[in-house]
Chain A
């Protein structure tokens, strides 16, 4: 006997419900069968070559008016859903070979690599050079600090104030357990000069602002770039406890 599990649900998620689905005879759902009907009926007098069959299938696919890439700001037109997968992998996944974070463009990836993994970059920062590049392609302005760039993005390019280019990655399980222990012991022992300046205030702002984002401007509505490919806390959880998070340092930054 199948077990039926009861669950207390919250109303915001549209749960799977099993319902009957009916289609009108002219629904696109039936179009491949309809086309097959006519082809079979006329094939008696005709010789459909393999090529023509393929053309016809493409014609059906085109009838579905192709597909537009749904990633905000992309709008690329693709012939089929299969094409979309190729397109997405080519255009919207650029991953860092050092830390596996994934970025939607190679421009952002290269900025990340400099800022997160390049010690020369850090050296220049320490010497006061303006090396933090603006994220918007074509702008070209550079800044001396992460925060400075941040401000520029907000002021000049209308990024949401809670935007964060560099997100803390979730450390490995071992590291997490270590951090928890450490946290318990060294609660006040904060390292003053974090190279990744994620301010507490920004973090607060981030947490509350994430839910208020919209896609009215051209910048992506959600703020988390640089998510790790295999592990994923890209979305800042609404219930996040930011004090804990502020203490998490990227293990990689210290290497």
Chain B
């Protein structure tokens, strides 16, 4: 990875860094490394630093702050390793294969040493065509493995670095086949997973080259790291935005069964990757959602949510549940019928997530509850009388903004009846009164004060319910007491016309001339 600072495109290694300039450059480097590191952390690509056989011949370095000199050295070594590889590939004589494997291994080590492999140096030296050659059919497993490993780490870098793998793709896909040894197939899957993680364009290339069926088949066995890697690669491959791949995947023979089997029985690590596959299946493909809800998948997801404490697993499982509920009204209306055991189970695990300390779980659990609360009156009653409400009320006043917004959706949905055919906005007074008495109004008024248009809208809509629906005309007094008028007055100078009109409308209607006169 080259120094990104515009000032020094070419660093002079002979001069030693002295004093201020050096310190400044190190600081600059640190900022760049910091940014790069953060970006690499959140990328959907993963470096392979330890091989499938976990050979301990390379110490994995934890310290990523390498100096300019070290970096330059690494790049130089990489270039020369590629040169070596070139000569071994050309060489046809005795022991050629071993020489080639050694050269590949050297390059692989250089590309696995640190968090920021010298990818650019490798590419500049012409590594790709050589690696492609090393993937040719009939090559020894060790050679294939090392070559695929090099490609994996090259593909874990920046977009243009990942794209450099294009010539290698058909071969990588070919080596996923059932005749390949498992470690080789797994390493190729890993490389392809990184490529798929880059973006839609590369995903489409992989799909059109037929990457999906062999990867899908790799998910069928009961266990093994290969299954896990394949599931991860698949999740990157089908993530769309085109739903075609997701639909294609669920149709592959044995895949649905394998997914259910892994969700039911496999260890948490494997179940995690499979759950992510379900996340994308349920978010993108209506067909897949339809197929899934006819199985006992909801039960399996509830089981996992109830028994696991691994955040890594809980996130995709919860989200899968959320997607299945959100994607099809059929789920709520036909499967999660109030009174059934499965429905109670779902509410229970959602409550467990609300109690979690993890922000993502609280937010997404609230989202799922809001969708269930968007169901029938019976659904609303079910949630209203569950353990969820006290938790939600607490979250509304204490949680971070993104959680509060979702909680607002749940509580508001509990207070309005399903929209009838004539579109009349009827409210459920019993729920409204109780929730307001328990102090939720100030939380909604806080949302009105935020800069987020959607949240402000929710707050104003809820205020309207209170103003209209509280018995004995209590609404306006309650709103005033919580500084609701003040909150609405912010919209006088607000840029958003909708919000201005909403706020104006409420003040006009409920805090007009005669407000408070007949007391």
Query: Which A residues contact B (CB, under 8 angstroms)?
Result: 2-7, 9, 12-26, 29-30, 32-42, 45-48, 52, 55-56, 59, 67-73, 78, 81-82, 84-85, 88, 92, 102, 104, 170, 173, 176-177, 180, 215, 220-222, 224, 227, 229-235, 237-241, 244-245
Given contacts A18-B374, A37-B315, contact A88 B38 (CB under 8 A): no
Cα–Cα, bound, A52→B283 (Å): 31
B462 touches A16 (CB 8 A): yes
CB contacts (< 8 Å) of A59 on chain B: these are: 38, 42
B8 at the A/B interface (Cβ < 8 Å)? no
Task: Give, as a whole number of angstroms, the nearest-CB distance from A197 to chain B.
Answer: 21
Q: Answer yes or no: B416 CB below 8 A from chain A CBs.
A: yes
Instruction: Tell me which residues across on chain A come within 8 A of B279, comparing CB atoms.
Output: 25
Number of cross-chain contacts by CB at 8 Å: 241
- Interface pair B512/A239, CB less than 8 Å apart: yes
Q: A33-B319, A222-B500, A233-B511 are in contact. Are A25 and B280 (CB under 8 A)?
A: yes
- The answer to whether B326 touches A22, judged by C-beta atoms less than 8 angstroms apart, is yes
B501: Cβ under 8 A from any A Cβ: yes
Let me know if A4 and B451 touch, CB within 8 A: no
Residue of A nearest to B377 (CB): A2
Q: Which of B373, B381, B505 contacts A2 (CB 8 A)?
A: B381
| Cα of A53 to Cα of B301 in the assembled complex, Å | 29
Residues of B within 8 A of A41 (CB): 46, 312
- Residues from chain B with a CB closer than 8 A to the CB of A13 are 464, 502, 505-506
Residue among A3, A21, A29 making CB contact with B429, cutoff 8 Å: A3
Q: Tell me which residues from 9 to 64 in chain B have a Cβ below 8 Å from any Cβ of chain A.
A: 34, 37-38, 41-44, 46-47, 49, 60, 62
Instruction: From A73, A227, A229, A233, name the one whose CB has the most chain B CB atoms within 10 angstroms.
Output: A233
The answer, among B276, B364, B373, B492, for a CB contact under 8 Å with A18, is B373
Q: Is the CB of B517 within 8 A of A2?
A: no
Binds A, one of B101-109, B158-166, B339-347, B418-426: B418-426
Does B399 have its Cβ within 8 Å of any Cβ on chain A? no
Q: Is the CB of A70 within 8 A of B496?
A: yes
Task: Tell me if B214 counts as interface (CB < 8 A to partner A).
Answer: no
Interfacial residues of chain B within 493-519, with CB under 8 A of chain A in the complex? 493-496, 498, 500-502, 504-508, 511-513, 515-517, 519
Contact B425 A18 (CB under 8 A): no
- Whether the Cβ atoms of A40 and B312 lie closer than 8 Å is yes
Interface size class of B (residues with CB under 8 A): 35 or more
Which residues of B sit under 8 angstroms from A73, Cβ to Cβ?
A: 493
B516 contact from A26, A78, A92, A173, Cβ within 8 A: A173
A162 to B229, CA, bound (A): 69
Which of these binds chain A: B170-178, B179-187, B407-415? B407-415
| 13 CB-based A-B contacts, threshold 8 Å | A4-B429, A12-B501, A14-B502, A20-B326, A21-B370, A24-B241, A25-B241, A30-B319, A36-B360, A56-B42, A92-B490, A220-B493, A222-B504
A13 and B504 alpha carbons, distance in the complex (Å): 10
- Neighbouring A residues of B316 by C-beta, 8 Å: 37
Cβ–Cβ contact A17 & B363, under 8 A: no
Closest 6 A/B residue pairs (Cβ) = A232-B485, A15-B425, A237-B512, A18-B413, A84-B451, A16-B461
Known: A59-B38, A233-B511. A20 touches B489 (CB 8 A): no
Q: What is the CB-to-nearest-CB distance from B459 to chain A, in angstroms, rounded to a whole number?
A: 11
Give B contacts to A, CB under 8 Å.
34, 37-38, 41-44, 46-47, 49, 60, 62, 115, 239-241, 276, 279-280, 283-284, 311-312, 315-316, 319, 323, 325-327, 329, 332, 359-360, 363-364, 367, 370-371, 373-374, 377, 380-381, 401-402, 409, 412-413, 415-419, 424-431, 449-453, 457-458, 461-462, 464-465, 468-469, 480, 483, 485-486, 488-490, 492-496, 498, 500-502, 504-508, 511-513, 515-517, 519
A204 to chain B, nearest CB (A): 15
The answer, among A7, A230, A231, for a CB contact under 8 Å with B468, is A7
Judge whether B450 and A84 touch: CB under 8 Å.
Answer: yes
Given contacts A25-B279, A38-B44, A234-B489, contact A176 B516 (CB under 8 A): yes
Find out whether the CB atom of A38 lies under 8 angstroms from the CB atom of B42: yes
CA distance A146 to B422 in the complex (A): 52
Contact status A23-B326, CB under 8 Å? yes
Q: Are B41 and A12 neighbours in the complex by a CB distance under 8 Å? A: no
Q: How far is the CA of A165 from the CA of B278 in the complex (A)?
A: 60
Q: Within the assembled complex, what's the spacing in Å between the Cα atoms of A36 and B356?
A: 15
Partner of A20, one of B374, B450, B507: B374
| B374 interface neighbour in A19, A70, A102, Cβ under 8 Å | A19
Binding site secondary structure of chain A:
loop
What B residues does A24 contact at CB under 8 A? Answer: 240-241, 283-284
Chain B contacts for A231, CB-based, 8 A? 480, 485
**Interface contacts beyond A5-B427, A224-B492, A235-B489: sample of 9 additional A-B pairs, CB < 8 Å, sorted by A:** A15-B425, A22-B323, A22-B327, A23-B326, A45-B62, A70-B496, A81-B452, A220-B493, A234-B489
Q: Indicate if the CB atoms of B427 and A4 lie closer than 8 Å.
A: yes
Residues of the B chain whose Cβ atoms lie less than 8 Å from the Cβ of A180: 517
Bound CA–CA A2/B515 (angstroms): 30
List chain A residues, Cβ under 8 A from B424: 6-7, 9
Known interface pairs A5-B429, A231-B485, A245-B513; A21-B367 also in contact (CB < 8 Å) = yes
Q: Inside 8 A of A2's CB, which chain B residues have their CB? A: 377, 380-381, 428-431
Known: A4-B428, A25-B279. A227 touches B489 (CB 8 A): yes
A241 to B513, CA, bound (A): 8
Q: Which of B239, B283, B465 has the most CB of A within 10 A?
A: B283
Known: A17-B419, A176-B516. Is A12-B505 also a contact (CB below 8 A)?
Answer: yes
Q: Is the CB of B42 within 8 A of A39?
A: yes
* Chain B residue at smallest Cβ distance from A236: B508
**Most interface-central of A2, A215, A245 (chain B CB within 10 A):** A2
Q: Is the CB of B326 within 8 A of A26?
A: no
Question: Do B428 and A46 have beta carbons less than 8 Å apart?
Answer: no
A63 to chain B, nearest CB (A): 10
Contact A70 B494 (CB under 8 A): yes
Nearest CB on A from B485, distance (A)? 4
Are B493 and A232 in touch, CB under 8 angstroms?
no
Contact A7 B425 (CB under 8 A): yes
* Given A21-B367, A30-B319, A56-B42, A16 contacting B426 (CB threshold 8 A): no
Nearest-CB residue, chain B, relative to A229: B486
Residue numbers in A under 8 Å from B457 (CB-CB): 14
